[in-house]
Amino acid sequence: MTPIVRAGALQGFDDLVRRWGADPARLRRQHGLAGKEIEDPESMVSLNAVAHLLDDAARVCDRPDFGLRLGATQDLQMLGLLAVVIQSSGTAGAALLDSSRYLFVHSPSYQLVLEPSTAPNPHNWVTLRFDVEVDPGVPYRQIIDGCLASLLTLARGVTGLPITPLSVSLPHTPAASPRAYRSAFGAPVAFGQPKGALHLDPNVFAVKLHHARPAIRRAALAYIAARLPHQDTSAATRVRNTLGSTIGATRGTKSEIADLLSIHPRTLQRRLHDEGTTFEQIRDEVHRTATLRLLTESNLPFSQVSYALGFSEQSAMSRKVRQWFGTTPTQMRAQAARSAARTPKLESITAPS
């Protein structure tokens, strides 16, 4: 299924591009994101196209921190009906749960997960893991940067507090200078990690929301249930999403995933068989995509990549990479670096005077 997102995700895009002297309408047209459809924030548009758009805008505007800056300008209205649910939650923690459960309303390809409490956590922080599922080969640095920056901005907006993460993790090498990331998040940023995440003080989740309206929340959820198509709840999709969102936090075994889904491993196996697939096939697909990203979009040491992906040892990962891609991890990373170095800067698209 083609990844999609509400057009509201581009809130603030035109103003930001104009501010830096380029033509947002022309940029959007080049990526098929123009016309009445994009003007309606409730329209669903191609997430791949949005990712390419943000990547091109960063080059055209000569702003490698484009995603960070866009995320910092957005507010809750970007989320449409989901904003009503979030604002009507009782606490910041409840708002987070609502966000993770109903984020499919904004995009079925976004995943927001509270890291399992059983995961090793020597820092005494709560981790919000975020991921975006775009097709292989689609640039995702800017969209990940933008989504995490937007997530922090929205958290500050809904609580009314100047929330600052204790740390931030990003699944890629920096698109802008490390200083720009530190400034955007107000916290140390670790690059090339298995997943994007905000690491927050646990006390944040107990903060009460002043505008909590349970009746409005119930009405909004009833509307979502009655009028909007829910995310695919097939066993295969649930396994795929859970595997993707817990890479680096679990070993990705069938028993672990079944436990997270509150289902017996044999029952899970039977349901997947009924849907014409197996746990191993899905795991292979998810880990192939994750391996491609971690080897070409990060500088994470190969030993850490293999551990995050659940391989028994680095040599096992190398054999799998040869099977998937016909090359070695070292050659893949070197080729990605050469391709990035050869990428030409797009001709500047200036705004009409």
For residue 122, what pLDDT is reported?
Answer: 57
Q: DSSP secondary-structure letter at 293?
A: H
For residue 210, what pLDDT is reported?
Answer: 75
Query: What's the residue count for the chain?
Result: 353
Backbone angles phi, psi at 104, to 5 degrees: -60, -25
For residue 352, what pLDDT is reported?
Answer: 41
Are the beta carbons of 267 and 279 closer than 8 angstroms?
no
Q: In this structure, are strands 4-6 and 110-114 parallel, antiparallel, or unpaired?
A: unpaired
CA-to-CA distance for 112 and 145, rounded, in angstroms? 14
Domains belonging to the chain, first-starting first, are: 68-225 (no CATH), 235-342 (1.10.10.60)
* Contacts of residue 317, Cβ cutoff 8 Å, sequence gap at least 6: 291, 302, 305, 306, 309, 311, 329
Backbone angles phi, psi at 41, to 5 degrees: -65, -20
For residue 294, what pLDDT is reported?
Answer: 81
Residue type, 244: G
Are the beta carbons of 38 and 30 closer than 8 angstroms?
no
Q: What stretches in the chain show pLDDT beneath 70?
A: 1, 115-123, 212, 225-233, 245-246, 248-250, 340-353
For residue 344, what pLDDT is reported?
Answer: 47
Reduced to 3 states (helix: H, G, I; strand: E, B; else coil), residue 167 is strand
For residue 16, what pLDDT is reported?
Answer: 97
For residue 119, what pLDDT is reported?
Answer: 47
CA distances from 227 to 14, 53, 213, 220 (A): 30, 30, 21, 10
The owner of tokens 């080969």 is 137
Q: In this structure, are strands 167-169 and 189-190 parallel, antiparallel, or unpaired?
A: parallel
Q: What is the pLDDT of residues 317-353, one digit of tens each?
A: 999 999 999 999 999 988 887 876 654 443 433 444 3
Are the beta carbons of 172 and 191 closer than 8 angstroms?
yes
User: Quick one: CA dihedral 246, 248, 249, 255, positive or negative?
Assistant: positive
Residue type, 46: S
Closest-CA residue to 183 (of 224, 149, 157): 149
For residue 8, what pLDDT is reported?
Answer: 94
Reduced to 3 states (helix: H, G, I; strand: E, B; else coil), residue 113 is strand
CA-to-CA distance for 279 and 269, rounded, in angstroms? 7
For residue 236, what pLDDT is reported?
Answer: 86
Closest-CA residue to 85 (of 180, 275, 210, 221): 221
CA-to-CA distance for 186 and 179, rounded, in angstroms? 10
